[in-house]
Chains A and B, each alone.
Chain A
Amino acid sequence: MHEGIATLSIAVVDNGIHGLRGHFVDSPALRYRFEPIVRDWSPAFAEDVVIVPNGSDHLSLYRARHSIEAVLARGGAVLCFCGCYTPWLPGTVWRHDNTRPNRDVRYHVASDPLGLMAGVDPQRLGTDAHGISGWWACGELVTACPQSVVLADTWGRPVLIADTRSTPGLIVATASGPLGDRGGAEAAADGPQRLYRNIIRAVSRHLESRHA
């Protein structure tokens, strides 16, 4: 996937929840470092890519928002696959909404200049192997940058954004839709694993363009 590109180092925020580290498995192209949240957490990320996985601590992230902003200010990437209910992510927050029935959840692509949805079946994201819909995102993203909406649901609620305007960096966020890297263990080629790979590819291009 990353022929000719050096290994990408990624910091993964680690909230101490069971099983997290199994969702981000090193490969020749990607190396993950887990950044544990501790009391009075104040990280200094050396990496240009920070992942906030599902199940993260959004109180600590708010308190550490300047560390996140520093990554973006230098043109790095922040990928949030969680429900960011505090305003630590520039330009975007998440809010819950259970007023719509899960059985009617369908996704459609709004705008995709970075190619995040290339080869991804939008319905594979929200429907499990047994045909049950509504099992990926929850609620919606509220963004100050409407042009950043990549994917919306049946009712037009943003569930995936890619924001290159709010900061010098790249922000990708899901409406708490979990994504991870099991090192190829997930076989489906057109679902969440493909989306994750596409996001990493877009991040790599973004970082390359910064150095060009």
Chain B
Amino acid sequence: MPDSIRAPIAMLFNGVWSQYAVATAPKYRAFFDLIPVHDLGAERLEGHQALLIPFQSNHAALAGRREAVFGFLAQGHRVAVFGDAADWIGGQWEDRPVDNSWWTRLPAEPPIAWTDFSHPLFAGLTPRQAGWHHHGAYTRIPAEARILQRSRDGEVVCWETHAHGGTLLAATSDPVIEHGVQQIRHLDHFVDQLVFWLCGRRPDPVPLTFSADQFGHAPVPQAAADPARHLR
């Protein structure tokens, strides 16, 4: 890893507040480098172990830079894509109603009804930790893909493929966004496990916190990126 890269995971950044809140939180800031979507390129991914593309990304802009993502995959890295309408990765997304109240109405029937717990991303998680709500379903996935999660209706929520060299995992859930929003307060388990799966290191097992000094500052110009790399 080059000296200028201090974090193992590149997180694609659409400037969204909840993405920012997670990536700069004391618990996670050592794990993520934020890469603005319009700056995405092979050189920005170099030196990172994995790429995380969170929900609320700009997939139209991203699709135009897909070569960087597939080139990174070809090097054997892991890429995790959460939402929305990410047809450019080889699947077909369709919107589905979001069930945000299942835990009061149907606590025994989470919207993500089936998970393949033999996959290391879900190792050690309970069904409630592995699945909250989802925003859509994949109605088409690559032929060789492995299905990892399904909805109550049996539709595909999460899948992965090794067809591009590394591991491409896609899901219609939104762990980074919801963890940042903090209206669901038990996502530390999943996000910590996601970080571990992506880079082999685990965050401290403490609840997510924020500090006031994360907020209200001007972005750091790219030329002065490190050590304040989060806003370069």
Contacts and interface: CB of A to CB of B under 8 A. Distances in A.
B105 interface: yes
A209 interface: no
Given A57-B14, A58-B20, A142 B181 contact: no
Contact of B16 (A40, A56, A129): A56
Interface string A114-144: 0000000000000011111011001100100
Interface residues of B, number: 41
B210 A98 contact: yes
Nearest to A130: B101
Contacts of B101: 128-130, 132
Contact of A87 (B21, B58, B217): B217
A131 B105 CA distance: 11
A63 interface: yes
A38 interface: yes
A95 B95 contact: no
Contacts of B57: 17
Residue in A38, A83, A102, A176 with the greatest tally of chain B CB atoms within 10 Å? A83
B148 interface: no
Interface string A35-59: 0011110000000000000011111
Given A16-B61, A59-B231, A102-B185, A39 B38 contact: yes
A164 to B, nearest CB: 22
The secondary structure that dominates the A interface is loop
A93 B210 contact: no
Nearest to A133: B183
A95 B181 CA distance: 12
Interface residues of A, number: 43
B100 to A, nearest CB: 7
Contacts of B215: 85, 93-96
A196 interface: no
Given A17-B58, A102-B183, A82 B17 contact: yes
Interface in B54-68: 56-61
A15 interface: yes
Interface in A74-106: 82-87, 93-99, 102
A83 B17 contact: yes
A130 B104 CA distance: 8
Given A130-B101, A135-B100, A138-B181, A16 B18 contact: no
Contacts of A34: none
Given A18-B84, A57-B15, A58-B15, A86 B183 contact: no
Interface of B: 13-18, 20-21, 36, 38-39, 56-61, 83-85, 95, 100-101, 104-105, 180-183, 185, 208-210, 212, 214-219, 231
Interface of A: 15-19, 37-40, 55-63, 82-87, 93-99, 102, 128-132, 134-135, 138-139, 142, 176
27 contacts: A15-B15, A16-B58, A16-B60, A17-B14, A18-B59, A37-B58, A39-B39, A55-B16, A58-B15, A59-B13, A59-B15, A59-B36, A63-B219, A84-B17, A86-B216, A87-B217, A94-B17, A94-B215, A95-B215, A96-B21, A98-B182, A102-B183, A102-B185, A128-B100, A129-B101, A131-B104, A132-B100
